[in-house]
Amino acid sequence: MNNSSPGKALIVDDEKANRLALKSLLVRQGYQTIEAVNGAEAVALFKQQNADIVFMDVMMPVLDGYEATRQIKAASGKRFVPIIFLTAMSDEAALAQCIEAGGDDFLVKPYDKLILQSKIRSMQRIAALNSEVQGMYSMIHREQEIAESVYINAIQSPNIVNPYLRQAVRPASIFSGDLVLSAYSPSRDLFFLAGDFTGHGLLAALGAMPVSEVFRAMTTKGFSPEEILAGINKKLKVMLPVDMFFGAQLVVVNHDLEHVRVFNAGMPDVLIVDGANHRIKHRLASTGLPLGVDAGADIHAMQQYAPIAHNDKILMYSDGLIEARNAGDQEFGSRRLIGSITGAPQNKIFEQIFSDLDAFCGAVESQRDDVTLVEISCVQDVLPALEAHDYLRPAAHMLSGRGEWKLSLRFDGARLRETNPVPVLINYLMEMEELEAERQALFTVITELYLNALDHGVLALDSTLKTDPAGFEAYVQTRESRLASLDNGHVIFNLSVEQESTRRSILLRVEDSGQGFDFTNHVAPNERDMALSGRGLVLIRDLCESLEFEGNGNIAVARFSWSTR
């Protein structure tokens, strides 16, 4: 409907004289007119003729004006079709009933030309505004579709797909303020981040992009969980408004399935459940503020360790799960969640929680907050296989004749507390040698050499402590205590890259300030005897051409080679 061509008007009145009088006025306004003598006929004509404006009598046979109005409004969908009631009534209750039925205005009999003109102009303005709003809604909807596609492709798609990693996010609106990210580090550790931005919807989801970017880039390069969370925290502190923050749970499953490291910043407890009897073995509560609040937050202080066993389940969830409400405004709560876990059939915890949640919420159509649940099964297949390294295999994209080079780095005292040198060395090697296909093997070798030097050399930790889970906990606590107070000692890295005919080698020489060990009489444990310790040196020997010790055992020299043919 517009001013130059008003369109089609539907006149509904059981009195012919009233219809003729109104028709005469409307034709002068430029309208085409159609007429109905009762409400049922009006509904049928509206659906056939698609009228632009309706003039509706109240009291009519077959179907009154109230019900006819309801049906016409329903049939018009999102299109605004003004309905003006024709009435001689002045009773306020009757007029209110017209509005409740969907009427937009009144025209009192007998009809006045000037009043009719003003009401029509008013409806035309409303219709024009409605059309503009609908156009804006369509544009917003399109932008939301594009944003949702970007969100899925950039954030969710790169996540690990594995049947032993279960995850679900139920957004309270189109976009979720909850976030789940997963990736493997070069050392084959599983990194799983679950988070919850303040609020929900598009505003909350916007923060997911920088979080995903930092998480994936730093995890792929082998940075520690502390460094990753510190990077996310600093970026969010700069980017987010002061009233917005990011609660986060970062779980790192060790590649040997020995233990998990958990960082919980303002989120519900991370639960570790016995896979056999569904007993809650560990509750790892929040130990720090959400990210984005304090740029100088001590991420290291948030760290918690817990031993794990085969088929244990690690559960991560947002507060939207336990705060979900039913029709009686009751919360699902932690007690019901624990009941779902302990009462679930074998290996069906994930399904049982959602089954109980849906049964509890019942007819409630939408929740106030996003709901997220993650289940990690601690089985070998949840981790990537270790890629065997054939040190005579040609490296992908390797160019012979690159020349030889050396690099030396020394880390002293407190710097060992603050810096993880492994990603620095790996990324330098990747840039210099283009050994992308060998990244995992090299990362594993350098990590094991460094941890051996730091833990058993500088910190003087006894690896035999790790013979069982209880001993492992004691080992971890001792390590954290000694590392926190470390102000002396050193680790020195000397890397030499050499070209020998048709092969190229990296000679890795790692020296520590420890007392060393009697390497001449040292007997490597077999696989059955290693338990939770002794695996590092065996792994290095498997991946390298050679491994030797010098000095008093405080210098390890490993040669990693590949063919250039």
Residues 544-563 have a mean pLDDT of 91
**Residue 2 — very low, low, confident or very high, per pLDDT cuts 50/70/90?**
very low
* pLDDT tens-digit map of 332-378: 999 999 999 999 999 999 999 999 999 999 877 667 788 899 999 99
* % of the chain surpassing 70 pLDDT: 87
CATH of the domain at 448: 3.30.565.10
Angle formed by the axes of helices 65-76 and 92-100, to 10°?
30
Q: What pLDDT is stored for residue 197 in this prediction? A: 87
Domain that holds residue 20: 8-133
Q: What is the DSSP pairing of strand 303-307 with strand 8-12? A: unpaired
Residue 165 to residue 179: CA distance in whole angstroms: 15
The set of long-range contacts for 133-142, using a CB threshold of 8 Å and a minimum separation of 24, is 134/78
| Average pLDDT of the residues in 230-237 | 92
Task: Answer whether residue 167 shows pLDDT above 70.
Answer: yes
Check residue 109 and report its DSSP letter: S
pLDDT of amino acid 95: 74
pLDDT score of 111: 77
Q: What is the dihedral of CA 258, 343, 270, 187, to 10 degrees?
A: 30
Confidence band, pLDDT 50/70/90 cuts, at residue 530: very low
Q: How far is CA 562 from CA 431, 499, 546, in A?
A: 17, 10, 13
Token pair, residue 77, equals 């969908």
pLDDT tops 90 at residue 169: no
Which sign, positive or negative, has the C-alpha torsion 107, 110, 112, 113?
A: positive
Domain of residue 61, CATH code = 3.40.50.2300
Would you say residue 391 lies in a domain?
Answer: no
Among 351, 382, 413, the domain-final residue is 382
Identify the band that residue 191 occupies on the pLDDT scale cut at 50, 70 and 90: very high
Residues 347 and 493 in one domain: no
557: phi then psi, degrees, rounded to nearest 5 = -125, 115
* pLDDT at residue 154 tops 70: no
Q: Which of 83-87, 213-217, 396-400 comes out lowest in average pLDDT?
A: 396-400
Given 117, 133, 149, which residue is the final one in a domain? 133
Mean pLDDT of 67-92: 85
Asked if residue 49 belongs to a domain, the reply is yes
Query: Which burial class, exposed, middle or buried, applies to 351 when counting CB atoms under 10 A from its CB (0-12, 13-18, 19+)?
Result: middle
Same domain as 313, residue 182:
yes
| pTM exceeding 0.75 | no
SS (H, E, C) 199-217: CCCHHHHHCHHHHHHHHHH
Using CA atoms in the order 465, 468, 473, 478, what is the torsion angle rounded to 10 degrees? 0
Q: Both tokens of residue 375?
A: 């289940």
Taking only the tens place, the pLDDT of each residue in 406-436 is 999 999 988 888 888 998 898 888 888 877 7
CATH number at residue 163: 3.60.40.10
150 is a domain residue: no
Model pLDDT, residue 79: 85
The answer, yes or no, to whether residue 284 has pLDDT greater than 90, is yes
Average of per-residue pLDDT across 543-557: 93
Report the C-alpha gap between 556 and 544 in whole angstroms.
12
Mean pLDDT of 14-41: 90
If one counts every other C-beta atom within 10 angstroms of the C-beta of residue 257, the result is 18
Q: What's the confidence (pLDDT) of residue 231? A: 94
| Cβ within 8 Å of residue 22, ≥6 positions away | 11, 13, 55, 86, 111
Question: Are 446 and 367 within one domain?
Answer: no
Number of domains in the chain: 3
| Tens digit of each residue's pLDDT (9 = 90 or more) over 302-319 | 999 999 999 999 999 999
Q: Answer positive or negative: Cα dihedral of 162, 165, 170, 173.
A: negative
Same domain, 335 and 221: yes
- Whether pLDDT at 387 is above 80: no
Query: Is pLDDT above 80 for 88?
Result: no
Q: How far is CA 138 from CA 1, 6, 144, 230, in A?
A: 19, 24, 10, 40
pLDDT at 201: 61
Q: What's the whole-number mean pLDDT along residues 312-333?
A: 93
CA distance 391 to 504: 9
Same domain, 108 and 194: no
Q: Is residue 388 part of a domain?
A: no
Does residue 208 contact residue 151 with C-beta atoms inside 8 Å?
yes
Q: Does residue 542 lie within any of the structural domains?
A: yes
* 266, 299: one domain: yes
Average pLDDT over residues 8-21: 90
CA nearest 11: which of 56, 59, 49, 46? Answer: 56
- Domain C-terminal end among 350, 367, 382: 382
